[in-house]
Amino acid sequence: MANQEDIFRKVISHAKEYGYVVQSSEIYDGLSAVYDYTQNGAELKKNIKEYWWKAMVQMHENIVGIDAAIFMHPTTWKASGHVDAFNDPLIDNKDSKKRYRADVLVEDYVAKIEAKIDKEVQKALKRFGESFDKAQFLTTNPRVLAYQEKAQSILKRLGRSLEAEDLEDVKNLIEELEIVCPVSGSKNWTDVKQFNLMFGTKLGASAESATDLYLRPETAQGIFVNFLNVQKSGRLKIPFGIAQIGKAFRNEIVARQFIFRMREFEQMEMQFFIKPGTQIEWYEKWKELRMKWHLSLGMGEENYRFHDHEKLAHYADAATDIEFKFPFGFKELEGIHSRTDFDLASHEKYSGKKLQYFDPEINENYVPYVVETSIGVDRMFLAVFSNSLKEEELENGTTRTVLKIPAVLAPTKAAVLPLVKKDGLPEIAHKIIDDLKWDFNVVYDEKDAVGRRYRRQDAAGTPFCITVDHQTLEDETVTIRYRDTMEQNRIALGVVNETIANEVGIRNWLKKTE
Ligand code: GAP
C-alpha cells in the first residue's frame, strides 16, 4: 500500500465491502459525519464495548455501571459549562464558502512544518546511514531547530489567544501565516466566531410550552447527577467508580475523517470518585491501567503514546490523551482527566442539593474529586479496524488482504467449510455449527474452492476456518486454519470448541491487563 491517504481510502472501502461501516442513509446520498454499522461492524462494536465493560466494571469490585438517559434537564449543561464554553472557533472562506475550525487551520500549518522536520531527518538518515544519531540531529541541526522554534511559537500564540478568547488575534495569526483555503486557494477569510457544538431540540407539544433541551454532548454528566443515588443505593465507599457506555452528539464542523469525528457517536466513560488530595496518585494509576488495557489487545506498543496537556481546561489539574497511530497519524483515542470537584460542586450550586460524601475514616463530609477516563467506541473501532487491515505478499508471489482483528474482538470467530458439497461433508459441517453456535458467532460457507473461501474469511476478519474433508469421515478430525499465520493443524472434532475458546476467550485476553 502506498501513502497515508491511499491506506485510509482502502480502510473506508474495505469497511463497506465487508459489512462493517457505511454512510448513514446512503441511498439519499448520505448524511455528513453520521455512519451506520452493518452486520460485522455491529458485532465488532459490541465486542469492543464488552471488552471495556468487563475490564472496568466486572474486574473492579469498586466500579459499577449505569445507563442514564440521553436527554437531561437543561440546567445540567449550564452547570457543566457546556452552554457557555463548549465552543469551537470557526472561520469561513468567503470564496469557497467553506467553514473551518480556525485552530485546526493553524495546527495543520504546524503539521506541515513538522513534516519538513521529518523530511530533514530522512535525508540525513540516507546520508549518514547506520552512524546517524537522530536525537543529536534533532537538537543540533540549525534548519531543524529553526523549524521547531517556528512551530512552537505559533502553537504558543494560538494557545494564548484561545485562552484569552482573543479571536481577532487568531484571525491575525491565520493572515500572518498566509494560510489559504484548501478548496479555493484564497486568503479571503471572515472573522473568527465561536460556535456551540451542542444539538438543541424541544420537549413538549406546543411551541409556547416546549422546553429547550440538548442531546448530551458527553455521557459523563449522567454519572455526575447520579453520583449520590448510586453511592447510597450501592453503599459504596470512596474510592469508587461509575462507568457508562452510551451515545453522545456534537455538531462537529470539521468532520472529514470517517468515524474518527462524528456528529453521533458513542463514549465509554468512567468517573472515579476519590478523596481530595489523592487525585494525582489516582490519575497516574488510571493512566497505567488504561494503557495496559490497550496493550492487552496486541496492536503494537509503538502505536500508542501519551500526550500530556500543557494547556488545561479550567476544571482540570492534570490531563493526558492516549494517542493512537491512525492512518492519518497519531491522534487522540482516549482522554484521562483529573477533573477536581468541578462538576459535582457546580451541580451542587445549580441544583441546591448536597452532593457530598461522608467519609467515616476522617468523620468529615466533602465533595469528592474525580479522575475520568473517556474513550470513544467509534474511535476505538477505527483504531482496531485500520490497524488490522493488511496487504501481505505471499511466498508464491500473490498478495492477500487480511483483517487481523484481535480474535477476542472478531465479529465471527470461525467459518466451517465442507471441502465439497457432497459425500455427507455439509451435514458434518452443519453439526459442528450446531455445537459451536451456543458459544460463538460462526458461519457456514460452501461456495467456491476452499482457497477462495479462506481468502474471503481472511478479508472479513474471521480468525479460524474449520474444514471438513473426506478424512473427517474416517477418523473424526478436521483441519483448523489460523487466519494470521495461515498455519493448518489437524484436530479431533471433540476439541474444536475448546480450541476456539482458548483463543477467543475474554479471560485469556484480559489476563494481560494484570
Ligand atoms: N467527558 C470527557 C469528554 O467527553 P472528550 O475528549 O471531548 O472528553 C472523549 O471526548 C473521547 O470521546 C475522545 O477521546 C474520543 O475518543 C471520543 N470523541 C469525542 N468527540 C468525538 C467525535 N466527534 N466523534 C467520535 N468520537 C469522539
List the one residue out of 221, 184, 241 whose CA is nearest residue 65: 241
> Ligand 1 pocket by C-beta < 6 Å: which residues?
218, 220, 250, 252, 261-262, 265, 267, 269, 332-335, 372, 374-376, 378-379
pTM, 2 dp: 0.88
Q: Residue 164's pLDDT is what?
A: 84
Contacts of 251 (CB under 8 A, 6+ apart): 195, 196, 197, 198, 199, 263
Question: What residues are paired with 416 via a beta bridge?
Answer: 444, 466
Q: Residue 1's pLDDT is what?
A: 45
Residue 263 gets which letter from DSSP? S
Q: What is the spatial order of strands in the sheet that 477-482 belongs to?
A: 442-444, 414-418, 464-468, 477-482, 488-492
Q: Which of 339, 374, 375 to mutate to test the pocket of ligand 1 (most atoms within 8 A of CB)?
A: 374
List the one residue out of 384, 272, 335, 391 whose CA is nearest residue 6: 391
Q: Which residues of the chain have pLDDT under 50?
A: 1
Distance 164 CA to ligand 1 centre (A): 24
Distance 356 CA to ligand 1 centre (A): 28
Q: At what angle do helices 425-436 and 496-504 cross, to 10 degrees?
A: 50
Maximum distance among all Cα pairs of the chain, rounded to whole angstroms:
81
Distance 446 CA to ligand 1 centre (A): 43
**Cell 482540570 belongs to residue:** 316
How many angstroms separate the CA atoms of 23 and 16, rounded?
A: 9
Distance 267 CA to ligand 1 centre (A): 7
Cell of 417: 467449510
Q: What angle do CA 79, 322, 225 make, to 5 degrees?
A: 20
Residue nearest atom 16 of ligand 1, based on CA coordinates: 376
Q: Which atom of ligand 1 is nearest to the CA of 263?
A: 23
Distance 183 CA to ligand 1 centre (A): 27
Cell of 421: 458439497
Distance 321 CA to ligand 1 centre (A): 11
Contacts of 498 (CB under 8 A, 6+ apart): none
Contact yes or no for 265/377 (Cβ under 8 A): yes
Q: CATH 3.40.50.800 occupies which residues in the chain?
A: 396-513
Q: Is 283 helix (H, G, I), strand (E, B) or coil?
A: helix
Q: Which atom of ligand 1 is nearest to the CA of 255?
A: 23
**Cell 452493518 belongs to residue:** 38
Alpha helices in 75-130, H assignment, sequence order:
75-79, 82-85, 102-128
Instruction: For 293-312, write each residue's pLDDT tens digit.
Output: 999 999 999 999 999 987 77
Cis-peptide into 327, omega within 30 deg: no
Q: Residue 370's pLDDT is what?
A: 98
Q: Which of 72, 265, 382 to mutate to test the pocket of ligand 1 (most atoms within 8 A of CB)?
A: 265
Residue nearest atom 21 of ligand 1, based on CA coordinates: 261
Instruction: For 229-267, write each residue's pLDDT tens digit.
Output: 999 999 999 999 999 999 999 998 766 789 999 999 999
The domain 40-74+206-386 is placed in CATH, from the list 3.30.930.10, 3.90.550.10, 3.30.420.40, 3.30.1540.10, at 3.30.930.10
Burial of 362 from C-beta contacts in 10 A (0-12 / 13-18 / 19+): exposed
Q: Which of 379, 381, 385 to mutate to test the pocket of ligand 1 (most atoms within 8 A of CB)?
A: 379
Distance 375 CA to ligand 1 centre (A): 6
Q: CATH 3.30.930.10 occupies which residues in the chain?
A: 40-74+206-386
Q: Which atom of ligand 1 is nearest to the CA of 218?
A: 4
Separation in Å, CA 234 to CA 228, 272, 300, 412: 10, 15, 38, 37
Cell of 254: 470539521
CATH classification of 396-513 is 3.40.50.800, yes or no?
A: yes
Residue nearest atom 26 of ligand 1, based on CA coordinates: 376
CATH class of 87-196: alpha beta
Contacts of 86 (CB under 8 A, 6+ apart): 196, 197, 198, 217
Q: Is 38 helix (H, G, I), strand (E, B) or coil?
A: coil
Q: Which amino acid is at 317?
A: D
Separation in Å, CA 15 to CA 38, 149, 297, 497: 9, 40, 20, 29
**Cell 465552543 belongs to residue:** 87
Contact yes or no for 318/280 (Cβ under 8 A): yes
Distance 332 CA to ligand 1 centre (A): 9
**Cell 485510509 belongs to residue:** 8
Separation in Å, CA 330 to CA 11, 294, 324, 404: 16, 15, 5, 20
In 133-280, beta strands by DSSP E: 193-196, 200-203, 211-214, 240-249, 264-274
Q: Which amino acid is at 56?
A: M
Distance 376 CA to ligand 1 centre (A): 6
Q: Which atom of ligand 1 is nearest to the CA of 337?
A: 2
